[in-house]
Amino acid sequence: MGDSDSETNETSIVIRVDDSPEALPESHWDALLSAQARPTPFMKLAYLRALHASGSAVAKTGWQPQYVSLWRGEELLAACPAYLKTHSYGEYVFDWAWAEAYHRHGLSYYPKLLVAVPFTPVSGSRLLAVNDDARLLLAQALRALAKETDASSLHVLFGDEADQAALAAAGCSARAGVQFHWMAEGDTDFTAFLARLNRDKRKKIQQEQRRVREAGVTFDARVGTELSPEDWDWDFFYRCYQQTYREHHNKPYLSRDFFARMASDMPEHWLMFTARRDGERVAMSLIALDPERKSAFGRYWGAIEHIPNLHFDACYYQPLAWCIANGYERFEGGAQGEHKMARGLMPTPTASSHWLAHPSFADAVNDFLAREGEAMRGYIDELGEHRPFKPVQ
């Protein structure tokens, strides 16, 4: 691997490692994506290229591309977005304690090899492949690349079950996590959804929405294909987006150019909510859409002034109402957030895979993952006992 191609023990299959997603043919990549069990718009090559071309996920920001692909002649058999990372920001599967342990023992945890969609905690297929055999070869190639680049470890985040199986066969250990998702239950509108909630939860949501209305705020929602170039006012949206990070004393991960590329390259995958008061815009939220699979994903939001409960309305209630009205079956509210249960989003397991090169640390992490996994299963079971919905009669 490295700068040149190398062959596996099946001499007709060539492994490539590219330092830019631009080196890969979009038609081949997206054809491969269409055959996966859980594809998402975030694994489209256009999305990954936008992250790179906009300067959001590049070596300068700590994301050195190492895109791995397997070829038989002109046929793309398997591929994945991989990065050599010099930090652990923008991942949403936390390994800071592992890095600190390495540091305390005088060892370098970075660089590490990461397979993920940068800044995107959405589960789905990560190891794109024509079949399970090709997926296993890709997992083995990632292990080999980690060794060749002197990476401390390999991490594959938010993969699907097929990824997990291939990575386990390649010697990786699984890590369990949880997110909170809404699933359609036949509701005809948002009022019907609220009617299924426990009285206290329903009243809380109604109260929060009433306070937003009393503040004079109204919403409109438009899919990207319905928006004119003037409607995609990225200066205002990016001002909102930056404000969210500024309030947490952080620097935004994504550049303004990234969002502009989404408007031009993938408009059908975005839904924009604009909040107005007295006709003036005060906030925006941006929801990603998978129209084919009727799934929506809460992604970005921001407001130029503080209005109580506006965040909940813009990021949960308005998107949920839109999903119900448009026949969508799933809404993912993003990473973490037990508070989302009170708003009708239920705990959903997530998974990642990890391999550490250092034998002693690998043993310690594997023991930790086993105990953490057991605790996570107990946590999800406990959450299930506190469903926000009324018992089904």
Residue 96 CA to its chain's centroid (Å) = 19
Give the span between the Cα atoms of 357 and 112, in whole angstroms: 10
166 DSSP 8-state letter: H
d(CA 288, CA 331): 10
Q: Are strands 295-303 and 153-157 parallel, antiparallel or unpaired?
A: unpaired
pLDDT of residue 3: 42
Which pLDDT band holds residue 104 (cuts at 50, 70, 90)? very high
CA angle 280, 282, 285 (to 5 degrees): 125
Average pLDDT over residues 151-162: 98
Read off the pLDDT of each residue in 186-205 and give the average, rounded to a whole number. 96
Mean pLDDT of the 192-206 span: 96
In angstroms, how far is CA 195 from the centroid of its own chain?
Answer: 30
Cβ atoms 181, 346 nearer than 8 A: yes
Say if 6-179+348-384 and 185-328 have the same CATH topology.
yes
CATH fold of 6-179+348-384: Aminopeptidase (3.40.630)
- Rounded-to-integer distance, Cα 374 and Cα 368, Å: 10
What is the length of the chain? Answer: 393
> Tokens at residue 211, please?
């306070």
Per-position DSSP letters for 185-245, written without gaps between them: -S-SSHHHHHHTB-HHHHHHHHHHHHHHHHTTEEEEEEEGGG--TTT--HHHHHHHHHHHH
Domain ranges of the chain: 6-179+348-384, 185-328
Average pLDDT over residues 251-272: 94
The number of angstroms, rounded, from the C-alpha of 241 to the middle of its chain's C-alpha atoms is 17
CB 15 within 8 A of CB 70: yes
Cα–Cα distance for residue pair 236/50, rounded to 1 Å: 20
Question: The domain 185-328 is classified under which CATH number: 3.40.50.720, 3.40.50.10420, 3.40.50.300, 3.40.630.30?
Answer: 3.40.630.30
Cα–Cα distance between 290 and 299 in angstroms, integer? Answer: 13
Helices marked H in 83-198: 96-104, 132-148, 161-169, 190-195
- Could you tell me the strand order of the sheet in which 14-18 lies? 6-7, 14-18, 67-72, 75-80, 128-129
Task: Using pLDDT thresholds of 50, 70 and 90, give the confidence band for residue 393.
Answer: low
Tokens of 118: 């940068």
Q: How confident is the model at residue 232 (pLDDT cuts 50, 70, 90)?
A: confident
Q: Which residues pair with 284 in a beta bridge?
A: 274, 302
High-pLDDT (> 70) share of the chain, %: 97
- The mean pLDDT of 138-151, rounded to a whole number, is 98
Amino acid 332: pLDDT: 97
pLDDT at 329 over 60: yes
pLDDT in tens, 117-128: 999 999 999 999
| Candidate from 3-7, 141-145, 250-254, 287-291 with smallest mean pLDDT | 3-7
User: Terminus-to-terminus CA distance in the chain, angstroms?
Assistant: 60
